Amino acid sequence: MAFYPSVISNRFLDICLQSLGNFVTFLAALFAVISRPSAGVVGLSLTYALNMFDAFNYVVEQISAVETDVVAIERIKEYREGLDLVLKGVTCQIESGEKVGIVGRTGAGLEHVISEGGENLSVGQRQLEFQDCTVLTIAHRLNTIMDYNRVMVLDNGEIQEFDSPAVLLQDSTSVFYNMAKDAGLV
């Protein structure tokens, strides 16, 4: 999703909703001046009018969420028909609390991006946040999974290697070793 157009459209929507809320507040104040109701009625109508922005915003957020979910379902139906399955007979045992990184070359159902870096959680932050959790990570940068318990290497939708990073890096003929070498990690 393009970040800039998303921010601009959200700001535009926010301005429109604020304008609508301000217009409702103006009408409530105008009604109070023209009809001269009791102070309690004026206070109540202005309070409700001022809260209209929050109500409009909530309704629009809910409608957008439903629309997003429906579009996601439509896309799944649209792209799934007639396509071959990406994963072929993938079966493995993952223990509770284990951290497993999933990597692959193009054509594995995952794309391996050689460039490393980016703004990620530090190793310490990951350990604190997910210490007791089972974590499966589709890794686009190998350095994010080097401290995981095991790495699953996929090629053509099948598991080629599945072991700890240390064991896979000891074998200079392994697919993972060559990916790490391409990324400048070994």
Per-residue pLDDT of the chain (186 residues; tens, 9 = 90+): 567 887 788 888 888 888 888 898 899 899 889 988 888 888 998 898 888 888 888 888 888 888 878 887 777 666 666 777 778 888 999 999 999 999 986 544 454 335 343 344 555 555 557 778 898 988 888 988 999 999 999 988 899 999 999 999 999 999 999 999 988 998
> Angle, nearest 10°, between helix axes 3-35 and 39-50?
170
Q: What integer pLDDT is reported at residue 121 of this predicted model?
A: 54
Closest CA to 138 of 112, 116, 164, 171: 112
Q: What integer pLDDT is reported at residue 3 of this predicted model?
A: 73
Q: What integer pLDDT is reported at residue 95 of this predicted model?
A: 93
Estimate to the nearest angstrom the gap between the alpha carbon of 145 and the chain centroid. 19
Report helix, strand or coil for 7: helix
Could you give the C-alpha distances from 157 to 143, 153, 166, in angstroms and in order? 22, 10, 23
Q: Alpha-carbon distance 90 to 41, whole Å?
A: 67
**DSSP assignment, residue 145?**
S
Q: Answer yes or no: are the C-beta atoms of 151 and 175 closer than 8 Å.
A: no
